[in-house]
Amino acid sequence: MPAARPDPVRDPVFAACVVVLRRNLPFTLAGMLLTMALVIAALQDVVPHAQLAWWALGNLALSALRWHAMRRFRPVEGEPGINDNPRVRRWRRITLVGVLASGLAWGLPTAYWLQHVPLPHQMFLIIALLTMGTGAIYAYCIDLPVLYSFLLPYFLPMLLMLTALDQTLLTVMGVAGLLYLAVSLTFAHRMHRTQLDSLSLRFENLDLLQRLQNEKMAAERSDLAKSRFLAAASHDLRQPVHALSLFVGVLKGHALPAQSRQLVDSISRAVQALGGLFDGLLNLSRLDAGVVRPQVQPVAIADVLDRLHHEFAPQAQAKSLRLRLRPLAATVSSDPALLDRILRNLIHNAIHHTERGGVLVGCRRDGDALRVEVWDSGPGIPLHEQERVFWEFHQLGNPERDRGKGLGLGLAIVQRTARLLGHPLGLRSWPGRGTVFSLTLPLADPQAQAPAQADEPQPAALPTHGREPLVLVIEDDVQSRLGLQLLLEGWGYRVLAAGSVDELLLQTAQDMDRVSLIISDYRLREHQTGIDAIKRLHEEYNDEAIPALLVSGDTDPQRLAEVAEHGWPMQNKPVDPDRLRSTIARLLA
């Protein structure tokens, strides 16, 4: 079955045609009045003045009515509801009546006058009518019913009168005029089709653009929903894993039989694996949230690569692979920590996916930039997978989702980190032969000196004399609170722990010791946050200098951005006991 034609009332092309008619009307009326003035000037000596006056008054009145209707109809093309606006339909009906009346007002009087005026005046009338009729074709071809409503009553009376006269010349001109009218209407149909096709294409493009915008918004909403789902899911999963990590830390601080020590170490490795997954999600959320702000500075690329070579050489040797380094004595502009993360991921992936041969890390100068390349002799990446490898959780050759083969987050983090730094990331691969990842870095000023690397913080020494430092802990999860309290007490701190600030203040009311540190979970009861808790405790003790540490299981980008604004350090659940101990050492130093 043929496709149903769109309802002209709701067809946007139809509405656009009416808008074009309205836009052309001032020029049409101006041309008509100018031609009327010329006709009156030419015929004033051969046509009774009363006839010319009544004809002029009739045309002026009709033009005034059409102008008034045009002024009342002021559509804005593309405005909401214009396609089914009653004003559009009403004004088009008025236009049809107006052009029909105009055609009759011109066609009938001029056909009558042709019988009574001399030949020169007949020639003038014919030329004047043909000229104005040609202009009407251009003005009205956008709407064929309007065009026919004007041209037929405008031309036919004159042309039929010419063919009926006894003069051969006028008869020939009448026949030629009919042929001209037929050719002009054919041409008008082609112009009409061209303009409709143009309008249709325009609205199709607008509709396509709208659909693309809607799909983009839907994709953004889906991505935001995914981030929120991951944030909620990871928070709920982090809580028990966090408590387990704390209890494992407590157990590792006790003397245990060899068999029990082996069991605790196995549990610790399992907790670390879960922590790696959560950290990957957190890194993606931090990049999406925009809370990672690069600290660009001169970086000696040879020092970075040398440190990574020493770190990964044992892993390569364990797989009987050669890890070769070809650095250059160059200084680049980058964030050293983020650059280290990118190169660490690329080298780890290269070693992980290579079974024979080796891995080469080299540098090439490229104008005012330096390109760091990581080559491997692994299985390569098929062309159709080279874009997907940067997707979250997408892995090649791991349909069983073996945790030992990774999580599928490394390259996603690499790509977003490189984009954040403005370092172009490249990928070339030859299936069965190997892969090369490249990272292009801007060269720094040759006179610039790379800052010395700070030493890693050492674990806090246990208090050996005097009263133990007092640590306040706010954690609404009972198991996590107990685990953190036992861990801190095992390190020699005195701990007051509670599920809320109000409960904690009841305990501190009888304790006049100075608070050394506040540790709070981020998400607390009754929509309270750790930020609120820390601020309130600072007010209660009238001391904003009390160090504070946040612990969070959230990966929601908005929450991460909020924490970053206040500048307090934050540990992510599940907390690594050694890292927690180093952070406390730095805060209490």
**pLDDT tens-digit profile of 148-197?**
888 889 888 988 888 877 778 888 888 888 888 888 888 888 888 888 88
Distance CA 369, CA 333 (A): 10
Average model confidence (pLDDT) across the chain: 79
Place of tokens 């050694």: 578
Query: Using only C-alpha atoms, what is the Rg of the chain?
Result: 42
Q: What pLDDT was estimated at residue 3?
A: 43
Handedness of CA 76, 77, 79, 82 (dihedral sign): positive
What mean pLDDT do residues 550-572 have?
Answer: 74
Q: What pLDDT was estimated at residue 79?
A: 47
Q: What pLDDT was estimated at residue 108?
A: 92
Same domain flag for 36 and 161: yes
Nearest-CA neighbor of 25 among 85, 77, 95? Answer: 95
Q: What is the 3-state secondary structure (H, E, C) of 244-279?
A: HHHHHHHHHCCCCCHHHHHHHHHHHHHHHHHHHHHH
Same domain flag for 287 and 303: no
Relative orientation angle of helices 49-72 and 86-114, to the nearest 10 degrees: 170
Q: What pLDDT was estimated at residue 11?
A: 64
Distance CA 24, CA 239 (A): 71
Same domain flag for 31 and 92: yes
Percent of the chain with pLDDT over 90: 7
Same domain flag for 28 and 155: yes
Query: Which residue, of 165, 181, 213, is where some domain finishes?
Result: 165
Distance CA 69, CA 441 (A): 67
Same domain flag for 44 and 22: yes
Same domain flag for 158 and 114: yes
Nearest-CA neighbor of 472 among 455, 441, 494? Answer: 494
- In this structure, is residue 198 part of a structural domain? no
Handedness of CA 342, 348, 354, 359 (dihedral sign): positive
Return the amino acid letter for 146.
V
Same domain flag for 351 and 423: yes
394 or 554, which is more confident:
554
Q: What pLDDT was estimated at residue 284?
A: 60
Q: What pLDDT was estimated at residue 489?
A: 86
For the chain, how many structural domains are there in total?
3
Does residue 397 have a pLDDT over 60?
no
What mean pLDDT do residues 453-466 have?
Answer: 46
* Token digits of residue 120: 């020169």
- In this structure, is residue 209 part of a structural domain? no
Q: What b/e sequence results for 3-41 when a residue is b if at least 16 CB atoms lie within 10 Å of its CB, and e otherwise?
A: eeeeeeeebbbbbbbbbbbbeebeebbeebeebbeebbe
Torsion angles phi and psi, residue 546, rounded to 5: -65, 125
Torsion angles phi and psi, residue 372, rounded to 5: -95, 125
In the sheet that holds 548-552, the strands lie side by side as 494-498, 470-474, 515-521, 548-552, 570-572
- In this structure, is residue 203 part of a structural domain? no
Query: For the segment 94-149, what is each residue's pLDDT rounded down to a tens digit?
Result: 888 988 998 899 989 988 888 888 888 888 888 888 888 888 888 888 888 888 88
Handedness of CA 173, 179, 182, 184 (dihedral sign): negative
Instruction: Based on DSSP, count helices (H) and strands (E) in the chain, helices before strands.
Output: 15, 12
- Provide the CATH number for the domain around residue 339: 3.30.565.10
- In this structure, is residue 5 part of a structural domain? no
Q: What pLDDT was estimated at residue 570?
A: 85
- In this structure, is residue 199 part of a structural domain? no
Query: Which residues are registered as beta bridge partners of 374?
Result: 361, 437
DSSP string, 317-384: HHTT-EEEEE--S-EEEE-HHHHHHHHHHHHHHHHHT--SSEEEEEEEEETTEEEEEEEE-S----GG
Tell me whether strands 358-366 and 369-376 are parallel, antiparallel or unpaired. Answer: antiparallel
- In this structure, is residue 71 part of a structural domain? yes
Return the amino acid letter for 544.
E
Query: For the segment 43-93, what is each residue's pLDDT rounded down to a tens digit?
Result: 888 989 999 999 999 989 988 888 887 777 765 444 444 445 677 778 788
What mean pLDDT do residues 284-299 have?
Answer: 70
Distance CA 66, CA 105 (A): 14
252 or 571, which is more confident:
571
pTM of the model: 0.44
- Name the residue range of residue 91's domain: 12-165
Q: Please confirm whether the linkage preceding 574 is cis (ω < 30° from 0).
A: yes
- In this structure, is residue 495 part of a structural domain? yes
Query: For the segment 315-360, what is each residue's pLDDT rounded down to a tens digit?
Result: 888 888 888 888 788 888 888 878 888 898 899 888 888 888 889 9
Same domain flag for 278 and 302: no
Nearest-CA neighbor of 282 among 555, 468, 21, 508? Answer: 555
Distance CA 199, CA 205 (A): 10
Contacts of 394 (CB under 8 A, 6+ apart): 388, 408
Same domain flag for 260 and 333: no
Q: What pLDDT was estimated at residue 297?
A: 87
Q: In angstroms, how far is the first alpha carbon of the chain from the final one?
A: 83
Does residue 446 have a pLDDT over 70?
no
Q: What pLDDT was estimated at residue 57?
A: 93
Does residue 290 have a pLDDT over 70?
no
Q: What pLDDT was estimated at residue 484?
A: 86
What mean pLDDT do residues 218-231 have?
Answer: 69
Q: How far is CA 425 from CA 413, 419, 438, in A?
A: 12, 8, 6
- In this structure, is residue 372 part of a structural domain? yes
Angle CA 555–275–388, to nearest 5: 70
The helix, strand and coil proportions of the chain, stated in percent and rounded to the nearest 5, come to 60, 10, 25
Q: What pLDDT was estimated at residue 60?
A: 92
Same domain flag for 44 and 95: yes
- Provide the CATH number for the domain around residue 547: 3.40.50.2300
Same domain flag for 29 and 145: yes
Q: How far is CA 412 from CA 66, 245, 388, in A?
A: 65, 27, 10
Same domain flag for 327 and 359: yes
